[in-house]
Amino acid sequence: MSGFLSRWITLAVAAGVMVWLLPGMQPVGEPAIWGVLAFSLFMALLDASVKPVVKLMSLPLTILTLGVFSLVLNWLFMRLASWLAVGVFGVGVYIDGFWWSVLGSIIMAVVSGVVSSIIGD
């Protein structure tokens, strides 16, 4: 459980930086931190449960497209997390489009890597 909690905190920090940097990501809800926390909770849940299986099943297509399909998968998981957060809690992060989610996933990967190395996870 502590591994999931540290992953959620890491993703929350990364999502906060992503929302702060990108104008194509708008937090939904008052205060905005609740939207970021709900979004990062569903990102952590999806990363822990569904994403490894989907990435393994789509590996041939990802290899065939030289990794471009992984951008589509990241976009789908970000949209799914956004939809779930808004649907369940009424707060979340609204993503304007595909390219904003690509930039967001790059920012989240870099920031979560830095935060993970700092907290030692």
Contact 22, 105 (CB under 8 A): no
How far is it, in rounded angstroms, from Cα 72 to Cα 83? 16
pLDDT value, residue 4: 87
pLDDT band at 1 (very low <50, low <70, confident <90, very high): low
**Number of domains forming the structure of the chain:** 1
pLDDT value, residue 97: 85
* Largest Cα span, the chain: 43
pLDDT band at 46 (very low <50, low <70, confident <90, very high): very high
Q: Which domain holds residue 91?
A: 2-119
